[in-house]
Amino acid sequence: MAKTLVWFRQDLRVRDNPALYHAAKAGDVIGIYIEAKLQRQQHNESPAKVGLIYDSLLELRKELNNLNIPLHIRTCDYFGDQLDLIQQMVKDNNITALYFNNEYPINELERDEQLVKWLEDQGVEVHRYDGDLALEPGLVKNKQGDPYKVFTPYKKSWIEKHKTAPVEPLLPPESQSCYINKQETENFSAEYRDDLWAAGETAAHKQLKKFLSDVEDYRDKRDIPSVAGTSFLSPYLAIGAISSKQCIHALLEHYEGDEAKLYGDTWFSELVWREFYRQILIDKPALTKHKAFNQDAKEVWTDNRDAFEAWKDGKTGFPIIDAAMRQLNQTGWMHNRLRMNTAMFLNKLCLVDWRWGEKYFMQTLIDGDFASNNGGWQWCSSTGADGAPYFRIMSPLSQSKRFDPEGEFIRKLVPELKGLDKKSIHNPTTEQRKDLGYPEPVIDYKESRKRALELLS
C-alpha cells in the first residue's frame, strides 16, 4: 500500500478537499500542517487569523481521526523550514507521494517549486490541485486567450464555463486502515473573537446553512452595517474551512437546481469577485511585491502620518469611519461597504498610500486574504484591475446617512455619540464634539475631495 502525505495549508477541511480526497484513494494518508510563524508575520497576517487557524486545526484533527487519519501540527519560522520538515517527514515515513492544494502568492509558489524539485529528485510523486477556486485557474479567458481585466465580462464567461464544469463538491475520503499511534502538536494558538467565529469546518457549514435560509434578503440587507445581512463566511473561506465551490453548490441546491436563479443571485456574484481577484493574482504574481495593477495610475500619496494614526484608532472625527475602524479593531472583521468607505477615506481624502491601509487591514482582519484585500484596496484607490474611476470618492457623510440612517451602527461602535439624535450623529457640531470628547474632523472633506480630484485627474 502506498503511503501518502497530505500537506494542509489554506484548506482546513475534509470535505471538498481534492488533495486529501485523491491521496486517500491512492494509499494510507498522514496529514501535516506547519505554521511558519515568522513568515506569517512578514506577510502581515493577523493574530486573529492565526487563532482561528489553530482552533480549526484541532477541529480538523477530530474529523480526520474519525477516518483514522493522523494530523501532525508543527511550527517553524520560515517557509524554508517548512520544506525541511516535509523532507524529514517524507524520509522518516517512507512516503511515496505528496499531495497538496495550490496557493498562489509568489513566496508560496517559489517554495512549492523548490519542494517539487526535491521530491522529484527523490523519486517521490507530487500531486497538486486547485481546491481554493470553484473553477480551475486559467479556464476563464477572453477571445484572444488573455485573462480578463474587467469583472463583468469575466463573470459572464465564468458562468459559461461553470455550466459545463463539474460542480459537485468532493466527498470526504473513506476511512483509512492506518493506525494512529502518535500525532505531534506544537501549540501556536492566539486570541481572536471565538464568540463570533466558532472554529472549524462544521461551524462554517452551520453558518452557511443559517445564511442561506435568508439569502433572498441579501440584496437588500448587504449594504446596511447595523444588520447581519451578509454571510460572515469570509474567515472560513480565507482558511479553507469551507470552499467557494461548496458555497456555490449549496446556493444551487437552495434554488433546487435552477441555474438561472443561481447565476442571477447577488451573493453568487460576490463569490465570483473572490475568484476574479484570485485569477488576477495568478496572472500577475508581482502584485505580491506591492505593485499597482495599473502601472499608469497616478500615485500621489503624501506622508500624512497623523491622519493614518487617527484612521487606525477610529478617531478621525468622521463617525461612520470611526465606527468602521473600531469594528475592525474590536472584532477583526469589517462590513464590506465600510471597507470601501474607510479605504477611500484614507487613500483619496487623506492621500495616504493604499499600501499602508492594505497592510493595516491584513494585520487586523481575521479574514485577511492577500488576493481579496489587495484587490479591494486597488479597486478603491483606482490603481487596480477594474478599479473604481479616479473621481469616485465616497463621501463619509452621505454614505453614513444613506446606509446607517438611524445612526444605529455608529451608536454601537462609537458609544460617546450614542445620545445624539439621528441627524447630528452623522456629523456632530463643534460644541457636541467638545462636550462628548469626540475629535474634530482630521480633514476638511470638501477641500480634500477637490485636492484629490485635481491630483488624480
Ligand X SMILES: Cc1cc2nc3c(=O)[nH]c(=O)nc-3n(C[C@H](O)[C@H](O)[C@H](O)COP(=O)(O)OP(=O)(O)OC[C@H]3O[C@@H](n4cnc5c(N)ncnc54)[C@H](O)[C@@H]3O)c2cc1C
Q: Which residues are part of the catalytic machinery?
A: 270, 273, 301, 336, 354, 377
Q: Which of 23, 48, 64, 233 binds ligand X (CB under 6 A)?
A: 233
Q: Which of 134, 237, 321, 325 binds ligand X (CB under 6 A)?
A: 237
- Angstrom CA distances, 341 to 77, 187, 265, stand at 36, 37, 24
- The H or E element that residue 378 is part of is helix 370-380
Q: Report which residue's Cβ sits closest to ligand X.
A: 376
**Min CB(64)–ligand X separation in Å:** 25
| Cα(57)–Cα(80) distance, integer angstroms | 22
Question: Side chain identity at 6, as an amino acid letter?
Answer: V
C-beta closer to ligand X: residue 13 or 72: 13
- Angstrom CA distances, 230 to 2, 53, 175, stand at 44, 22, 36
C-beta closer to ligand X: residue 4 or 56: 56
Site for ligand X in 432-451 (CB under 6 A): none
- 20 DSSP β-pair partners: none
Q: Which of 154, 361, 385, 404 binds ligand X (CB under 6 A)?
A: 361
Q: Which of 362, 379, 369, 373 is CA-nearest to residue 328?
A: 362
- Considering only 16-24, 95-103, 106-114, 230-238, which stretch makes contact with ligand X by CB under 6 A? 230-238
Residue 372 binds to ligand X (criterion: CB under 6 A) = yes
Residue 380 binds to ligand X (criterion: CB under 6 A) = yes
Neighbours of 457 (CB within 10 A): 8
- Angstrom CA distances, 439 to 120, 318, 360, 431, 434, stand at 61, 9, 22, 11, 8
Residue 133 binds to ligand X (criterion: CB under 6 A) = no
Residue 251 binds to ligand X (criterion: CB under 6 A) = no
**Min CB(282)–ligand X separation in Å:** 14
292 grid coordinates: 499597482
C-beta closer to ligand X: residue 278 or 426: 278
Q: Which of 72, 111, 155, 274 binds ligand X (CB under 6 A)?
A: 274
| Cα(117)–Cα(240) distance, integer angstroms | 26
Size of the site for ligand X (CB under 6 A): 28
Question: Side chain identity at 42, as an amino acid letter?
Answer: Q
- Angstrom CA distances, 428 to 70, 310, 419, stand at 58, 17, 11
Residue 273 binds to ligand X (criterion: CB under 6 A) = yes
C-beta closer to ligand X: residue 127 or 359: 359
**Min CB(210)–ligand X separation in Å:** 12
Q: Per-residue string for binding with ligand X, 331-350, x by CB under 6 A?
A: -----x--xx--x-------
Q: Using the structure block, give the residue that is written with the C-alpha cell 511515496.
A: 96
**Min CB(326)–ligand X separation in Å:** 16
| Cα(335)–Cα(204) distance, integer angstroms | 18
419 grid coordinates: 445620545
Residue 231 binds to ligand X (criterion: CB under 6 A) = yes
Residue 383 binds to ligand X (criterion: CB under 6 A) = no
25 grid coordinates: 484513494
Residue 368 binds to ligand X (criterion: CB under 6 A) = yes
Neighbours of 394 (CB within 10 A): 20
Q: Which of 282, 365, 385, 394 binds ligand X (CB under 6 A)?
A: 365
Q: Are 350 and 442 in contact (CB under 8 A)?
A: yes
| Cα(88)–Cα(86) distance, integer angstroms | 5
Q: Which of 136, 151, 336, 152 is CA-nearest to residue 245?
A: 136
C-beta closer to ligand X: residue 89 or 365: 365
C-beta closer to ligand X: residue 413 or 417: 413
**Min CB(174)–ligand X separation in Å:** 30
Residue 367 binds to ligand X (criterion: CB under 6 A) = yes
Q: Which of 238, 281, 417, 420 binds ligand X (CB under 6 A)?
A: 238
The DSSP bridge pattern shows strands 97-101 and 71-76 to be: unpaired
Q: Using the structure block, give the residue that is written with the C-alpha cell 502581515.
A: 44
**Min CB(69)–ligand X separation in Å:** 28
Q: Which residues bind ligand X (CB under 6 A)?
A: 222, 230-234, 237-238, 270-271, 273-274, 277, 336, 339-340, 343, 361, 365, 367-369, 372-373, 375-377, 380
